[in-house]
Amino acid sequence: MQSRYLITASAALIALAGCSKHDNADNSMAADTNIAIDDGNQVNEAAAMPTDAQGFVNAAAASDRFEIESSKQAATAASSPAVKKFAATMVSDHTASTAKLKSIAGGMNPAVTPDDSPAADQQQLMSSLAGKTGADFDQAYAAAQVTAHQKALDMLKNYSASGDNQALKDFANQVIPKVTAHLNMAKGLK
């Protein structure tokens, strides 16, 4: 059953990477991502990663929103003190990340407005977490956090290397160490 949640989480995060409500003919996307499945197998998924400013801002904002909302669920649904502590950190850090992203995007010329709308798969994952409590929630949440942070890290590294806006590339470079730390913390929850 855990593999089903990991696969669902993987699908949600793949959809997140391409989450852009703005159709843009100049939106160049490319990346190849390996997503680890709990049984140790690797699934090579072609995942679209934004290299344009609007696509990156939307994907980063949606990623932060997923982290914040799923982590708020942990406050009441988790049983592990370590999961609850991690979740509180995620709410704080991703709220700060969103504020910084909005500030940078708003200062661009022309300004870019983040669209943090979750993809359908993200909504499904959130719904699946909402029905869990205790150890079941802890396990599903930890798996989702590993997948989400790996996907976010891949997206940030991709934009840092290939993005079209220097201020956003600088933002990506600034948050890469924090997301790496989050990923390592999430892996430690297992």
pLDDT digits (tens, 9 = 90+) for 125-176: 788 798 899 999 999 999 999 988 998 999 999 999 999 999 999 999 999 9
Question: Cis omega before residue 110 (within 30°)?
Answer: yes
The CATH superfamily holding the domain 2-188 is Ferritin, core subunit, four-helix bundle (1.20.1260.10)
Q: Do residues 183 and 146 touch, judged by C-beta distance below 8 A? A: yes
Residue 172 amino acid letter: A
Range with the poorest average pLDDT among 7-16, 43-52, 76-85: 7-16
pLDDT, greater one: 1 or 67: 67
Please give the structure tokens belonging to residue 128.
Answer: 């699946």
Tell me the whole-structure pTM to 2 decimals.
0.74
Number of neighbouring beta carbons within 10 Å of residue 135: 12
Residue 112, helix vs strand vs coil: coil
Residue 42 amino acid letter: Q
Distance, in Å, from the CA atom of 114 to the CA atom of 101, rounded to the nearest integer, reads 8
The answer on pLDDT for 33 being more than 60 is: no
Domain boundaries, the chain: 2-188
Burial of 10 (0-12, 13-18, 19+ CB in 10 A): buried
Residue 19 amino acid letter: C
Distance, in Å, from the CA atom of 23 to the CA atom of 27, rounded to the nearest integer, reads 8
